[in-house]
Amino acid sequence: MNDKLVRLQALVGEDKLKKITTAKVAVIGLGGVGGEACLALARSGVGTLIIQDFDIVVESNFNRQVVANTDTIGLTKVEVMANMITKINPNCQVIKLAEKFDQASNLFTYDFDYLIDAIDSVEQKLLLMQQCLHRSITFISSMGTAKKMDISKLIITEITKTTYDPLAKVIRKRLREEGITAKMDVLSSTEEPLTKGQQLASYMPVTATAGLMLADYILKKIIKDGEHL
């Protein structure tokens, strides 16, 4: 038994742990939400992690992003996260994509069955959703967590049922316009935004909780895969 995972195995059993340790998961976006999700997957023993982010660490990341500290300023978030994963879970195969997700992305040249979408751009998010649906990849998308401070208002629900989420509202509209009617789960907050205007505002307890909820969603999908519920 892997001593690092002994407590998880005691909870889920050997067979379900094997599903996790052989799973291949992509995490797109390594900010406040995606970074926390990624570390939770690594600590849970996920066998392969494909991580994608085009950005570098800057000081404005410090209030919420696990990749940000005084030693990582100016480094790519992908490189920092890969180092963190390897220190936690040396058995994890880490595939690094220091690039923006778009039509030219190399993401789908790799084999994986699960994906967490933690990117901010509407266009990129829509493209990622469409590609996952087309390829029958199990995925979950994070909607808006900015300008929110109540962790109890975070939920996982179908995108059609989201409320008080400006990003989800835009995504819902675009999906309707493009005739996409497939049901899809998203992480969203039912809390009304606390500030107005374009100024970005983030609170780590919310972004971190969102990331953990996304990781939990994928881990539960992995261990239930193939079971008749």
Q: Give a yes or no: residue 205 inside a domain.
A: yes
Pairing of strands 114-117, 24-28: parallel
pTM for the structure as a whole: 0.95
Sequence length of the chain is 229
- Sorted by sequence, the CB contacts under 8 Å of residue 197 that are 6+ apart come out as none
Q: Give a yes or no: residue 229 inside a domain.
A: no
Q: Give a yes or no: residue 116 inside a domain.
A: yes
Q: Give a yes or no: residue 220 inside a domain.
A: yes
Integer Rg of the chain from CA: 17
State residue 228's pLDDT score. Answer: 47
As for how many domains the chain has, the answer is 1
Please list the alpha-helical segments (H only) found in the chain. Answer: 6-12, 14-21, 32-43, 77-88, 122-135, 166-177, 204-224
Residue-by-residue pLDDT tens, the chain, 229 positions = 578 999 999 999 999 999 999 999 999 999 999 999 999 999 999 999 999 999 999 999 999 999 999 999 999 999 999 999 999 999 999 999 999 999 999 999 999 999 999 998 999 999 999 999 999 999 999 998 999 999 999 999 999 999 999 999 999 999 999 999 999 999 999 999 998 888 889 999 999 999 999 999 999 999 998 674 3
Q: How many CB atoms lie under 10 A from the CB of residue 64?
A: 21
State residue 32's pLDDT score. Answer: 96
CATH number reported for the structural domain that contains residue 188 in this entry: 3.40.50.720
**Structural domain boundaries, residue 193:** 3-224
State residue 226's pLDDT score. Answer: 65
State residue 213's pLDDT score. Answer: 98
47, with CB counted inside 10 A (0-12, 13-18, 19+), is middle
DSSP state of 80: H
Please list the alpha-helical segments (H only) found in 90-139. Answer: 122-135
Pairing of strands 185-189, 138-142: parallel
